[in-house]
Chain A
Amino acid sequence: MKPIEVISGAVSHLDRADVDTDQIMPKQFLKRIERSGFGRYLFYDWAQEPGWDLPANPILVTGPNFGCGSSREHAPWGLQDYGFEAIVAPSFADIFYTNCTKIGLLPVVLEERHCRALAAAGEGQVDLRAQEVRYRDPAGQLVAVPFTIDAEVRRRLLEGLDDIALTLSEHASEIDAYERARADRQPPLPCTSAL
């Protein structure tokens, strides 16, 4: 995963609430067995509506509960492949938020008024190390709004760490020990290969 530090540039605005992952990446594209190339299918049905305009900028600002519904990681894959590097919204659906952090697409939770101000500014910076979003207000003053993110998630994104490699290198013996202790204290788990 590519390390994330500061994401700067123009902002795209999708001013809708409760955008579900069926809209972000419609089902017909979930039949692909590849991980790349999903950008061209992003918002496939909505993109055919008159007036649709969502340029591939580094920052996407959108409405509350973004990414609700299906757990399909194809949705974050598509957003990232399209060109977005950070998504700023008042709130996110849980699975979607986690999926984004796993692929280095930065989800940022900001109050709705700050989301709208960032969208109005048209460009800004998302600074993961400083944990703040910066943009200019209508008077040209620089505004810096802090955001919160889980410390461990932030560390992994800053350093571009791979979760699986980390678990295997740092926790392998703990997992072994857990399985041994558990086998001693309770009956075996259902064995799917012996049904």
Chain B
Amino acid sequence: MAKTMFEKIWEAHAIGEGAHGGLLYIDLHLIHEVTSPQAFEGLRLAGRSVRRPEHTLATADHNVPTDGTAAAAQIKEELSRVQVQTLERNCSEFGIPIYSLGSSRQGIVHVIGPELGVTQPGMTIVCGDSHTSTHGAFGALAFGIGTSEVEHVLATQTLPARKPETMVIRYVGELGYGVSAKDLVLGTIGQIGVDGAVGHVVEYAGQAIASLSMEGRMTVCNMTIEAGGRAGMIAPDQTTFSWFTETRRPGAPAELERAIERWAQLPSDPGARFDREVTVDASALAPQVTWGTTPGMVAPVTGRVPSPTELEGPVDPSTAQRALEYMALEPGTPIAEIELQRVFIGSCTNSRIGDLREAAEVVAGKRVAKGVRAMVVPGSAQVKAQAEAEGLDRIFRDAGFEWRGAGCSMCLGMNPDTLAPGERCASTSNRNFEGRQGRGGRTHLVSPRMAAAAAIAGHFVDIRDWEVA
């Protein structure tokens, strides 16, 4: 019988389907400082050990300063310092490899997994972080879990699991000039809603997906959770295989050719049945800008801030009204006239080398607008080093951007990188929730190129009209 990619991976990892429900075996468990301390404490209290420390990998990302602080002991803020040091101590006690602050491999957990080559097609991957869906870009089944489940995976290398429903989003047409993976996924969430994929594992398909780089695919899968999806997946193909063949990755399989033969069997079989099918016209999408406080409140850059009463699509009018009040936006305002005080280029959505290259191309030879504070936060120490080797840091600094150390930074503002109340920010991150980047801060989600152009212009601009120096 024809199977979906999800079914193939699920069946290869399912253990027991008895009356009491089955287990799913976990191939790779990524951990970080924020959602793991209570899980380790639970293990200690019960006298349990970590079953597979060699299939577990830790890094410090959510809470780390990006000001060049070189070690956990030097973190100025006490709670943050204690949390990162607690992770280091837990990893040491339970034998888990860790890349903490100061390591040349430290970085956002969803950036370093693929970068090191430990994220591979066909695997099951979990992490106590909702954006674990990112790893699905490689044709893996990857999803976020809570701290109780982190503890369960540490102790058993499995999770109790019921098979979720499946959904395919098929894109017709290709993305137009200047329209990126970020615009593709924001446009999709705008159409299906922030709960449009709840309960489902989503497979993204179509030419617009096949044409994306691995980095673009990670951006798309990353934001699956913003549509409520359990996981997002993209079939492995030559682009995927090249990720491993063209760059030396320490975690890559020893016998790469044989691995690629196996990976090539993963894509959904022709005629495989999904529980739901959605079609989105990729060619109709313009660069996107969110105007509200959920990622589904989004409009083309050529559009206007909508009136709550005239909304089309899945956004609820009263929720939209509240969002506009929070965002201090008047219906009818052209998106391109929205002025900004801050710009953030970073996060597990858009902080990889390809994202930084695109942004650098836009800002090269230009200056950040007066009154705008703009920062670039590379996704990992390796991305930072690569960008510096290419001279991208120089381009950003010359244009007036701050060039920071690796971490989650202002995506969620757990470290000192935050918005002040009322500040408006163009951000390449994934969530524009109230207060996400700082209490009272106003976040507009955009692509790296759109964020870069907004920093130069001081307001949103249609990147398709941008003239590169």
Contacts and interface: CB of A to CB of B under 8 A. Distances in A.
Interface stretch (A3-11, A17-25, A113-121, A134-142): A17-25
B82 A33 contact: yes
A163 B152 contact: yes
10 shortest interchain CB distances as A-B pairs: A102-B148, A99-B146, A73-B146, A33-B37, A31-B79, A152-B21, A71-B144, A65-B195, A73-B147, A192-B57
Contacts of A167: 23, 152, 155-156, 158, 160
A194 interface: yes
Contacts of A18: 194-195, 294, 316, 319
Contacts of B117: 190
Given A69-B431, A167-B160, A190 B28 contact: yes
Interface string B134-147: 00000000011111
Interface stretch (B2-10, B47-55, B361-369, B396-404): B47-55
A171 B97 contact: no
A68 B195 contact: yes
A171 B23 contact: yes
A71 B230 contact: no
A195 B250 contact: yes
Contacts of A65: 194-195, 198, 228
B146 A102 contact: yes
B156 A164 contact: yes
A45 interface: yes
B440 to A, nearest CB: 8
B157 interface: yes
Interface in A41-94: 45, 64-65, 68-74, 76, 91, 93-94
Interface in B364-421: 412-414
A103 B147 CA distance: 10
Given A70-B129, A73-B38, A190-B253, 17 more contacts: A16-B319, A17-B316, A26-B439, A30-B34, A34-B38, A71-B35, A98-B149, A99-B148, A168-B48, A182-B25, A187-B254, A189-B28, A190-B55, A190-B117, A192-B55, A193-B54, A193-B95
B16 A171 contact: yes
B83 interface: yes
B113 to A, nearest CB: 10
A73 B53 CA distance: 23
Contacts of B251: 190-192, 195
B130 interface: yes
Q: Is the interface on chain A under 10, 10 to 19, 20 to 34, or 35 or more residues?
A: 35 or more
A31 B282 CA distance: 40
A150 B54 contact: no
A69 B433 contact: yes
A180 interface: no
A17 B319 contact: yes
Contact of B55 (A32, A166, A189): A189
A70 B80 CA distance: 19
B20 A152 contact: yes
Contacts of A94: 164, 198-199, 228, 230
A17 B199 CA distance: 18
A192 B149 contact: no
B146 to A, nearest CB: 4
Contacts of A192: 28, 53-57, 96-97, 118, 251
B166 interface: no
Interface string B110-121: 000000111010
Contacts of B412: 22, 27, 70
B148 A23 contact: no
Contacts of B228: 65, 68, 93-94
A34 B79 CA distance: 12
Nearest to B262: A186
Contact of A71 (B79, B105, B129, B436): B129
A27 B413 contact: yes
A140 B198 CA distance: 36
Contacts of A28: 414
B23 to A, nearest CB: 6
B462 interface: no
A171 B144 CA distance: 23
Interface string B19-33: 011010101100000
